[in-house]
Structure 1
């Protein structure tokens, strides 16, 4: 057998080590900003994330609504498909009888005439949504599932619905190889059980979203949450916002932070009148920070 001399052994060892190190370095290359943007803008991306959001709804006759949300996204990965779970804890403050937002599908009418018992603040309804998401391709994501609403507020206050509700949920996401992410999310919830003193819930939420990516992690967005309350008269049923915002993604090695700020004006919202005693907000602003973890 031909023996390799000592210098040649050292050279081979060095070359083998260099190749191995290069392979490890290639695997350890962190995602680019563009890849993090795609993940941040796709709610069906199988990455664990922690979104923190604040929304202010203004212009309602009875007062304003402050909503702070903590909404971890917890994916379960399988071969060829995923389960995307999101639990949303909502903390709310409001002084009056307001409808037209997701967290208050029906205003509290404790005195029978839309009257409020004063300012209330605390934990509002809790949402849980779960999607089954098959792997289609790099551009298209689809999610089919259900959403549940738990009445974690006291039924006698105006911070929630006072009902356990549930219904179907669907989401479609399309991402171009260049700059665009377009998505559509739709949910319909019906009340199942809850306080006899609270009204029945039948609410649809349709959420079209447009993202356009700019250099250096910046992007423009429009994330409009259209709401229909089927229990109200047809002329009081819809909340339809128009508006836009701006966001930026920051890469932190194998993790990222997504930040955004938005503003919307409601071209349609429930109007106050003497017969119903409540109204919806006419505008809203919001800001959010999302921490994104895991490999892309």
Structure 2
């Protein structure tokens, strides 16, 4: 009995040493949530609406798990993005629609289509540097998982390079810049070739109690479009709130943007909401 008590006490002591008695602070969770290269498994779920296009709006729901692989001094950050889209007509100027969607009715209820759109996958190789600077490079892919006859995406398998840089101050600010360029490789012969650049400058400013302000703009360039129809350039901002839940966290945010530059068939504004479930040790 004495040995059983000693062994039990030893196991309890070991468990106490192995468990971090001090859970991450809201500030630490914010840094992890706002750094796309943070090696934490997370499950972002996003809804975005693009409005103001001549033929109507585009609804996009996304499920985008981030799956890190850690090894000595390096991380591989993998993100798979599954998209469900609904759109009524000839619309372009957003990621996933490098050329206008053309429905049977060319807009209106007769041309509306909804379903699985293109799937994106990006993998960043990122070295451990310090607590303030992160950067990663790697490939990005677009898989034409939409139904080509309904043209809910590009209709092409595309690929290209991706790069990201993140700077975080010790307290309040996170600044990030992401760049991707994709070119079509093969796909539907009825669809135009793709050459699309995506630039994402991001600014986060943290407030007390898990609140923060953000601007996460997505600038699009479709290089095969005429020069006056090539760019989508938004401006806007949003607000977010992070909740610590035991050893995990939930990050929520809402955003709104106005496109100061957009193609004739593109949307003029967008709104979005995201909920991210974040897991793992910091």
- Asked if 1:291 is matched to 2:270, the reply is no
**Distance in 1 (alpha carbons) for counterparts of 2:270 and 2:151:** 19
The structure with more radius of gyration:
1
Shift of 1:28: 3.1
Question: With structure 2 as the length reference, what TM-score do the two structures score?
Answer: 0.92
Write out the 4+ residue segments of structure 1 that deviate beyond 4 Å after TM superposition: 20-23
**Distance in 2 (alpha carbons) for counterparts of 1:25 and 1:115:** 62
Gaps of 5+ in 1: 1-12, 272-278
- Asked if 1:73 is matched to 2:62, the reply is no
- Asked if 1:36 is matched to 2:36, the reply is no
- Asked if 1:280 is matched to 2:273, the reply is no
Partner of 1:211: 204
**Distance in 2 (alpha carbons) for counterparts of 1:207 and 1:239:** 12
- Asked if 1:168 is matched to 2:161, the reply is yes
Answer whether contact 2:160 2:180 (CA < 8 A) is retained: yes
Partner of 2:228: 235
Gaps of 5+ in 2: 1-5
**Distance in 1 (alpha carbons) for counterparts of 2:102 and 2:86:** 17
Shift of 1:110: 7.3
Task: Show CA shifts across 1:52-95 (max 9, x none).
Answer: 00000000001100000000000000010000000000000000
**Distance in 1 (alpha carbons) for counterparts of 2:19 and 2:77:** 29
Answer whether contact 1:110 1:156 (CA < 8 A) is retained: no
- CA-based RMSD: 2.0
Answer whether contact 2:103 2:111 (CA < 8 A) is retained: no
**Distance in 2 (alpha carbons) for counterparts of 1:149 and 1:21:** 47
Question: With structure 1 as the length reference, what TM-score do the two structures score?
Answer: 0.88
Answer whether contact 2:23 2:247 (CA < 8 A) is retained: yes
Aligned pair count?
272
Task: Show CA shifts across 1:191-218 (max 9, x none).
Answer: 0000000011000000000000000000
- Determine which of 138, 152, 163 is the counterpart of 1:159: 152
Partner of 2:77: 84
